[in-house]
Structure 1
Amino acid sequence: MPSSLLKLVFLSTAVSGYWLPETVGNGKFKTCIVPKSNGDDSPAITSTVKSCGDNSRIVFRSGTEYNLLTPLKFSGLTNVEFSIQGNLTLSDDPSSVSAVVQNSTIYPGHWITISNSKGVTITATNTQNGGWINGHGDKWWPGANDSSDKGRPHLFSFGVTGLRLRGLKVLNPVAWCFSMGGQDVYMTDTLLDARSMNGFPFNTDGIDVSASDVVIDGWKSYNGDDIINVSPPAVNVTMRNIVAYGTHGISVSCSTGNGSGYLFENAEIHDSLLGARFKGSVGTTCQISDVTWRNMTITNTSYPIHFIEDYVDQEKGAAGKDTSLAAFAKNFRWENIHAHTGPSLKDGSCVSTPCWSKTLDESTKKGLYLICKDADHCQDFHFSDITLTSADGSAGEMVCVGLEGATNLGIPCTNSTLLATK
């Protein structure tokens, strides 16, 4: 585990917990300690959860490293807390993990799955040497030269009503970290550390959210993909107090369905490819409304503000897609965003020509890309207090397509320099 842990100060938020052991008093729940084995600890974890039952606290002992050599899958839990005082680790042998991932009889799609449950809490200790979940991605990244390895594990999948995730620390995930379904989710003080000294950490996404009524408060990450991606059917999602490096954005996306009520605020994004980001998938249509990015500082980032309705991975192209289709977006807001572009339009994920992220009329001078199909597909958009600075220190520029002549954006729909706005 890391010898030094960056100390983060997060703003606290008062919410009513769905079920937390410390709020119900001793004697109201059962505590069970997971025993340590000499090999795979997953069977002992499964057995402990089953025998301890509902209204329980499952404790991973301090000073103990538990080996999750096979996936964990839980369903039907009610009022259960997992208290990670020791550490959890996947195998450091990529071939062993890959063999499990490609065996559908034992791998359900994620390494840790909790579904059809109510009142689940995972709490990690805030001590320096405990509370870590180690994926050993550093053993995988040196051999990766693209994002196509089907043997990589997804880490967590949640389908819970009343989920609380407190102080989780993920070290070197192989790839994707958290997939959130369900409802009533509160996640606080999370650290994702996928810094790589050898090879790019492909697809180390932070959170994919399809859940509703979600608050994520306090996040720090070093990764090689999205901090968060929110997509339908998610409704009412807030993420705030964010510090991120190397990211592909605070993202909203859609290809089908309806979603609304997404707020992202109080963020610092540094040394990244993308910042405040929306991507509608080419050849599909969907409805997204009431989305706000606000109070953000974005530095040394290729595409600080990036909105595109017909996104296509330029590495793969749009062959066979109906390019007449696009997302319908309504009531989008960008407020108090101060951005400085970087000197490059690529990061380590760009392994093709063109790069997968190549964008219309791109330039290191441009910090805002607003690419709409037409005014019907982009309704009630507004920008306020936006400043853009290009990589060379000059005033930043923008690209605007589909809203030419619009007078209510707060900025001109221009393809040139954007003066600071209020």
Structure 2
Amino acid sequence: MLSLALLSLLAPLAVVQSAIIAPLTRSSDFGRTVTARDGPTCTVKAGGSNSTDDSPAFSDAAKQCADGGTILFSEGVDYYFNTPVNATLNNVEIQLKGNINLPQNISYVQNIVNSTAGGNVWWLSLSGSDLNFVGSTNVSNGWINGYGQQWWDANPANKSGIANRPHLWRFNVTGGSIKYLKVRKPIAWVTTLSGSDIDVQDVFVDASTTPNGGFPFNTDGFDVSAKNVRITDFTILNGDDAVTINNGGENVTVTNGFISGPGCHGTSIGSLGQAQGVYQTVKNIWFENIKVQGCVYGSRIKTYLGGQGLVQNVTFANYDIVNTTFPIYLTQNYFNQGSTQTQNGAGIQDGGNYGGRVDNSSVLIDGVTYKDWKGTINTYQPGDRSCVSDPCWYDVPGSDGTQSIVIGCSNSTACSNFEFKNIQVIPESYAAPKINCTYLETANNPNLGLVCTNGTLVETA
């Protein structure tokens, strides 16, 4: 089950989250063998205030303990990372017993991001092998504070996030683990996983906005492009995907999670195929035991029209859905409403072509199973406050708050070997659940388990 320490973190949010969080069954213990470390312990020195940059002190400790050592952030101490840090570490454990604070000056951070080639900055970038990050089970310590609320509140009207926002951190390792990660108010994207053989356990991300506060755009919990990954026992409150599997993600298991708003997008595959001519793949993905409350999506697969690639062997199993607009959603006509920071060229949305993308190919999707879903559709107040485009980016033509399944394949051969088993998701109005379904042809989906037609959901034997 979720650790008592992490459950205690959620106590202040109990009213907002309607006390729906319940203990979840934990997977078996991780199978990674952690190499014994016989190197030194390097304690990161703190300057004592936000006027002193502690990033160089971390870099010094990382150099001294780069091979076989332990890097320690002292118990209860506040550290101020006023500049981005990068470290390559092998057979190292990082123990975060204090708290890491990002700068609170927006223009200062923007200038750093803007001056970086490509405009992409991870404030903390870690690479290497056999690298283990361990936070704290103490509710008061082990936090990474992003101070994102002021960024969200500063977002201009009809814009999806102000310019030059940094990613929080990147974990690019061959063999590694993350345990007891706690993040408060990230500016935007939280954790990027790349590399291979990574275990993640006991995570709490709080990107919930204050009442009437700005929307937390792009606060993805995990963006995964790594191979052989396990993520388990997590709570993510945010305004985007909780866990998304991107190009290169393979053999990924995501279990035992609670996902909630203010504008969460559940668990996702993609988006894929944005750069036409670049072949992208996601393979062997398993999501199970996921609770989703008050989100736009429960699960989502999203690919661009005219993209190239393959999504293969994906399972979404045992989902509890509460007050969610589109529980099961797939589109091969994805359109990202985002700014130029998050989108290189426009895509397409039903009802209009934006940017003139050529419909000459599709990201093929083969072998997707949805099984054992139960819960309620957000019938009365669908969507969230993230819509800044016209038509709204999450509008589905013909939807009326009763669609439990929305599947939009781009042609009759792009989606194959889909299966739906025991889908018991109903509208809050108790009307009959419906589906919005195109191009799931029987010839390519012999065990589909439903009738693919826009109308009342009918499951077959």
One-letter code aligned to 1:118? S
Q: Say if 1:383 and 1:107 are closer, same or farther in 2 by CA, change over 3 A.
A: closer
Alignment of 1:40-55 (within 5 A): 40-55=53-68
Measure the CA separation in 1 of the matches of 2:398 and 2:454: 9
2:451/2:460 contact within 8 Å kept: no
1:90 paired residue number: 102
Q: Say if 1:105 and 1:387 are closer, same or farther in 2 by CA, change over 3 A.
A: closer
Q: After superposing the two structures, state which structure 1 stretch, 247-256 or 171-180, moved more.
A: 247-256
One-letter code aligned to 1:34? V
**Within the alignment, does 1:169 sit opposite 2:213 as a pair?**
no
Runs of 4+ in structure 1 deviating by more than 6 angstroms, as ranges, are 105-108
One-letter code aligned to 1:283? G
Residue 366 of structure 1: CA displacement? 0.9
**Within the alignment, does 1:276 sit opposite 2:302 as a pair?**
no
Q: What SS does structure 2 have at the residue aligned with 1:311? A: coil
Q: After superposing the two structures, state which structure 1 stretch, 238-247 or 88-97, moved more.
A: 88-97
1:285 paired residue number: 308
**What does the per-residue CA deviation read over 1:131-151, in whole Å, with 9 as the maximum and x for residues that have no partner?**
100000012111114224232
2:267 paired residue number: 250
Residue 29 of structure 1: CA displacement? 3.0
**Within the alignment, does 1:415 sit opposite 2:454 as a pair?**
yes
Which residue, out of 67, 70, 79, partners 2:91?
79
One-letter code aligned to 2:377? T
2:222 paired residue number: 207
Percent identity (aligned): 32
Residue 374 of structure 1: CA displacement? 2.9
1:5 paired residue number: 9
Q: What SS does structure 2 have at the residue aligned with 1:140? A: helix
1:71/1:111 contact within 8 Å kept: yes
Measure the CA separation in 2 of the matches of 1:35 and 1:368: 53
1:65 paired residue number: 78
Measure the CA separation in 1 of the matches of 2:305 and 2:120: 29
Q: After superposing the two structures, state which structure 1 stretch, 345-354 or 166-175, moved more.
A: 345-354
TM-score by length of 2: 0.85
Q: After superposing the two structures, state which structure 1 stretch, 406-415 or 231-240, moved more.
A: 406-415
TM-score by length of 1: 0.93
One-letter code aligned to 1:412? V
Measure the CA separation in 1 of the matches of 2:120 and 2:109: 13
Measure the CA separation in 1 of the matches of 2:283 and 2:32: 24
Residue 52 of structure 1: CA displacement? 2.4
Measure the CA separation in 1 of the matches of 2:41 and 2:460: 56
Residue 85 of structure 1: CA displacement? 0.3
1:191 paired residue number: 204
Measure the CA separation in 1 of the matches of 2:92 and 2:119: 23
Measure the CA separation in 2 of the matches of 1:347 and 1:107: 28
Measure the CA separation in 1 of the matches of 2:361 and 2:116: 35
**What does the per-residue CA deviation read over 1:352-380, in whole Å, with 9 as the maximum and x for residues that have no partner?**
22111222322211121011123321111
Which residue, out of 297, 308, 313, partners 2:320?
297
**What does the per-residue CA deviation read over 1:153-173, in whole Å, with 9 as the maximum and x for residues that have no partner?**
101112200120001000000
Q: What SS does structure 1 have at the residue aligned with 2:60? A: helix
One-letter code aligned to 1:99? N
Q: What SS does structure 2 have at the residue aligned with 1:278? A: strand
1:387/1:420 contact within 8 Å kept: no
1:334 paired residue number: 370
Alignment of 1:119-134 (within 5 A): 119-134=130-145
**What does the per-residue CA deviation read over 1:251-301, in whole Å, with 9 as the maximum and x for residues that have no partner?**
002223222100000000000111111001122121111000000011111
**Within the alignment, does 1:138 sit opposite 2:149 as a pair?**
yes
Q: After superposing the two structures, state which structure 1 stretch, 64-73 or 98-107, moved more.
A: 98-107
Q: After superposing the two structures, state which structure 1 stretch, 329-338 or 46-55, moved more.
A: 46-55
1:88/1:132 contact within 8 Å kept: yes
2:318/2:372 contact within 8 Å kept: yes
Residue 419 of structure 1: CA displacement? 4.4
**What does the per-residue CA deviation read over 1:200-249, in whole Å, with 9 as the maximum and x for residues that have no partner?**
11110111111000000111011000011102211100000010102112
Which residue, out of 235, 255, 274, partners 1:240?
255
Q: Say if 1:271 and 1:152 are closer, same or farther in 2 by CA, change over 3 A.
A: same
Residue 414 of structure 1: CA displacement? 2.1
Measure the CA separation in 2 of the matches of 1:140 and 1:314: 19
2:359 paired residue number: 323
1:176/1:206 contact within 8 Å kept: yes
2:17 paired residue number: none
One-letter code aligned to 1:271? G
Measure the CA separation in 2 of the matches of 1:242 and 1:56: 32
Alignment of 1:145-164 (within 5 A): 145=157, 146-164=159-177
1:71/1:107 contact within 8 Å kept: no
**Within the alignment, does 1:225 sit opposite 2:249 as a pair?**
no
Measure the CA separation in 1 of the matches of 2:146 and 2:121: 16
Structure 2's unaligned 5+ residue stretches are 1-5, 12-21, 274-278, 339-345, 349-353
Number of equivalent positions? 414
2:422 paired residue number: 385
Which residue, out of 96, 100, 103, partners 2:112?
100
Q: CA RMSD in A?
A: 2.2
1:235/1:259 contact within 8 Å kept: yes
Residue 108 of structure 1: CA displacement? 6.3
Which residue, out of 395, 398, 406, partners 1:358?
395
1:371/1:402 contact within 8 Å kept: yes
Q: Say if 1:322 and 1:148 are closer, same or farther in 2 by CA, change over 3 A.
A: farther
One-letter code aligned to 2:146? G
